[in-house]
Structure 1
């Protein structure tokens, strides 16, 4: 299954979810919403957008109608897209939108981005500042909500299990290119983010960016999610040029289907 075929299935899934998500008069929620508190704000739809988790569920259903070998090919295509979007400027944008972004968080953000469809994905990967023009991003500005959807990462796992009763074979791999060293700066540095991602900065920062970072620490450091390589286990420091540990190991996915 090549990228065009995969994106066509994503488009079908989004269309199907949008078609059935029109709420009945006075209901206040669309079909498949799962009820209050069942998912993150970044997964929910709104303003005519389909619910991203519901899109992932529908995509898994559509994939389950395919032969097993095409489901396996879809898994490879999915992770090719994850590798294609593994870019430092996009990580900086995700960090800005979500108020921080660890390694796993960046995976889940890119999974959410794939769930938005081909046009949005390609536009944002080419110009991460274009995120500021998305309704979903504008809706979470000024809140603690995060845009991510781990569920997208598990669609091929669930489709293969539904179609064959067996686990997805470990035939896929992902290799990330080195991150752009020109973006190896502290993503808490609001002034630098404002210079590089002005539209997002205008949306998420105060009128006057903080001096060197988004915290009250004089040295601009963060002990948890630092993409500048100073934090152990998080950020981008251990990711440049890495071969992902999900390279076809066949490790069981998370309960909700996310391959981690």
Structure 2
């Protein structure tokens, strides 16, 4: 599997759902991903997970976390993982734009009253598919470990970029002006 294959699985799954902006629709994308990975077999699920982890590392950024914080009305560590699961469910174009410019998420059209922009099911999709294929949930983790290369870098301890106070309206408006206009409008 390569990056193109990863996104093809996601995009085909998205096509089954249509509008993926809310959490329920993003979870439906994840269910379709699980079905596709299950059909492709456990080794594909493991490969998919490796690419998912690589995307997670690329998107482990303070500025994207700030965007999630705005869109979710706060965002814990786990919440940021689930937000990035939602972001994958939005497809390659939205994901790439958001990683390059988190403020671009203002154009996605998420209802500002819906702070459930998350998809925990996407985080677990490969493991769920592997477990469905093999009947053994623990086998997934063993297979992941066996297929990791010795030269793979460890996941970063801290997000990339500059840390700043997400509760500081002035900083949020300066760094994410379009998202702040939607999620923290000036009264």
- Whether these two folds match at TM > 0.5 is yes
Residue in structure 1 matched with residue 141 of structure 2 by the alignment: 169
Alignment partner of 1:127 is 2:97: no
Segments of structure 2 that go 5 or more residues without pairing to the other structure are 149-153
Residue 158 of structure 1 deviates from its aligned partner by 1.3
CA distance in 2, matches of 1:190, 1:156: 38
Instruction: Report the 3-state secondary structure (helix = DSSP H, G, I; strand = E; otherwise coil) of the residue aligned with 2:12.
Output: helix
Alignment counterpart, residue 146 of structure 1, candidates 116, 129, 153? 116
TM-score of the two chains, using structure 1 as the length reference: 0.63
Q: How many residues align?
A: 176
The structure-2 alpha-carbon separation of the partners of 1:181 and 1:120, relative to structure 1 and needing over 3 Å to count, comes to closer
Say which structure is richer in helix.
2
The structure-2 alpha-carbon separation of the partners of 1:133 and 1:71, relative to structure 1 and needing over 3 Å to count, comes to same
Alignment partner of 1:157 is 2:136: no
Residue in structure 1 matched with residue 49 of structure 2 by the alignment: 75
**Native 8 Å contact 1:108 1:150 kept in 2:** yes
Alignment counterpart, residue 42 of structure 1, candidates 9, 22, 38? 22
Alignment RMSD:
1.9
For the pair shown, the structure with the greater C-alpha radius of gyration is 1
Residue 73 of structure 1 deviates from its aligned partner by 0.9
**Native 8 Å contact 1:14 1:55 kept in 2:** yes
CA distance in 1, matches of 2:86, 2:160: 22
Alignment counterpart, residue 60 of structure 1, candidates 31, 34, 53? 34
TM-score of the two chains, using structure 2 as the length reference: 0.86
The structure-2 alpha-carbon separation of the partners of 1:5 and 1:104, relative to structure 1 and needing over 3 Å to count, comes to same
Segments of structure 1 that go 5 or more residues without pairing to the other structure are 22-40, 45-50, 209-260
**Native 8 Å contact 1:129 1:200 kept in 2:** yes
CA distance in 2, matches of 1:3, 1:110: 17
Higher relative contact order by CA 8 Å / sep ≥ 6: 1 or 2? 2
